[in-house]
Structure 1
Amino acid sequence: MKDSVIIVSGGMDSITLLYDKKNEIALGISFNYESNHNAKEIPLAEMHCRRLGIKHITINLDFMGQYFKSSLLEGGEAIPEGNYADENMKSTVVPFRNGIMLSIAIGIAESNNLKKVLIANHGGDHTIYPDCRPEFIKAIDAAAYAGTFVNAHVEAPYTHITKGDIARIGKRLGLNYAETWSCYKGADKHCGRCGTCIERKEALTEAGIDDTTEYEE
């Protein structure tokens, strides 16, 4: 029985979760918050949902681009380069992004009498993004359960594993990660230098996957 919605960006993690839990998912939701890379990611999310026969919708959150402070909303040139764990990557935080998206997704789940909301945050996000941490997921899951008649749950099955682990799941599922997008700069090709590009390369290498991503260099 399909009882879930998924927040699906078009990146490696959410596309892996989409295929991993495809038999449970009734609806895929993408959010356009006017980030540098939304235009690259969302068409991929739509494509994968269509391929799996899963309904997909995109919700406009353009107010975030207007009122929130983040280098992810300021154009590709504002994105720092270097390792994902470096202090400068904190500039890419979009304040409470997951909290806002999950709140909307929980409301949509209840409106469709669905019980679960899936999100693909992972262990590598914890040091940079507060709303990816286990304690946040636990808290918003409790809020979803208490605040809905359907007693909805937020499930984040990748919270305690790495991106390399996710890539290994994708390898088992036969995914083509060239059909996903990671780069925060959002140019025609992955830059290969920003934190998300470096993390992507490392995860694919760790999983023993041939990286066919087109990089600028």
Structure 2
Amino acid sequence: MKKKAITVLSGGLDSTVASAKFREDYQIHALTFNYGQKSAEMEIKSAKAVCKELGAEHTVIELPWLAELGNSALTSEESIPEPEDSELDDIESALKTAKSVWVPGRNVVFTAIANSFAEAENASIIIVGWDLEEAVTFPDNSKEFLEAFNTVLEVGSFDVIKIEAPLIGMNKNEIVEYGDSIGAPMELSYSCYKGLNYHCGVCESCMRRKRAFKNTGVEDKTVYSEDS
């Protein structure tokens, strides 16, 4: 009988690859959060498709109150930033973009809820897609955040539950290569901040995705806007 795992699955590239790593050894229950983000409908659609491919259970959790906190471009009328290619690796520019799409406490909330499910379902791990490239500008993707949250779970739970972040030391190029090597259904993933029926190709998330496939030579089956 397989062990149980909870995965925080946005339907994006990173969480899809991270979840796929554990599909052979774990019975996976994926959680997708609708927190009022512009891309919620497409993220949920993608996550469902990924779960079908991985044979995972899927639950959508509604968090409408989270959209009301802060003024993130993901959840408000603020425009989604469209950085230049040259700005992706410029720390100052990337940090500015990151702050504009920051949702207060998002990964803290998601991971805490995942822990509740893990305790209730006797799951031994929580899978997350946190990675090295995102950690440069998003502190809740960092190795330090991972280690700190695992310490919280050690202290604050009767059960032995560990957060597994298999991509924590990888950049996007490495994630795409790794995803390709394990047969992760990356073509089903959705990364766009704008929530369009296709990838806009110009938001930061789309640009990092597109660049990684191009850099690695892995076939990119993503449909991008003709204007990108």
164-173 or 80-89: bigger deviation: 80-89
Cα separation, 2, equivalents of 1:129 and 1:17: 18
Cα deviation 1:12-40 (Å, max 9, x = unaligned): 11111121111224311111111111111
Is 1:207 the equivalent of 2:216? Answer: yes
Q: Distance in 2 between matches of 1:70 and 1:175?
A: 30
Q: Counterparts of 2:176 and 2:81 in 1: how far apart (Å)?
A: 24
Q: After TM superposition, give the deviation of residue 177 of structure 1 in Å.
A: 3.0
For 2:170 and 2:55, the matched residues in 1 are separated by: 28
* CA deviation map 1:147-189 (0-9, x unaligned): 1111211121211111111101111133453321111111222
Q: 2:200 aligns with which of 187, 191, 198?
A: 191
**Quick one: which of 162, 174, 178 aligns to 1:153?**
162
Structure 1 segments, 4+ long, off by >6 Å, are none
- 1:49-198 equivalence runs, <5 A: 49-75=51-77, 78-82=79-83, 83-85=87-89, 86-89=94-97, 90-198=99-207
How many residue pairs align between the two structures?
Answer: 216
TM-score of the aligned structures, taking structure 1 as reference length? 0.93
Question: What residue ranges of structure 1 are gaps of 5+ in the alignment?
Answer: none
Secondary structure at the counterpart of residue 3 of structure 1: strand
Q: TM-score, normalised by structure 2?
A: 0.89
> In the alignment, is residue 31 of structure 1 matched against residue 55 of structure 2?
no
CA displacement at 1:123 relative to structure 2:
0.4
**Identical pairs, percent:** 31
Partners of 2:16 and 2:185 within 8 A in 1: no
Which residue number corresponds to residue 9 of structure 2?
Answer: 8
Aligned partners of 2:19 and 2:5: how far apart in 1? 11
CA contact (8 A) 1:16 1:166 kept: yes
Stretches of structure 2 lacking an aligned partner (at least 5 in a row) = none
Q: Tell whether the 8 Å contact from 2:49 to 2:188 is kept in structure 1 after alignment.
A: no
| Structure 1: distance between partners of 2:176 and 2:220 | 11
Change (3 A) 1:65 1:25: same
Question: Which sits farther off after the overlay, 152-161 or 81-90?
Answer: 81-90
Q: Give the residue type in structure 2 aligned to 1:50.
A: K
| Matched position secondary structure for 1:73 | coil
Q: Within 1, Cα distance between the matches of 2:201 and 2:67?
A: 25
For 1:157 and 1:121, locate their aligned partners in 2 and report how far apart those are by CA, in whole Å: 8
Shift of 1:42: 1.2
8 A contact 2:3–2:124 mirrored in 1: no
Alpha-carbon distance between aligned partners in 2 of 1:140 and 1:11, rounded to the nearest angstrom? 22
- Cα separation, 1, equivalents of 2:54 and 2:218: 23
Sort the Cα spacing of 1:211 and 1:164 in 2 relative to 1 into closer, same or farther, 3 A: same
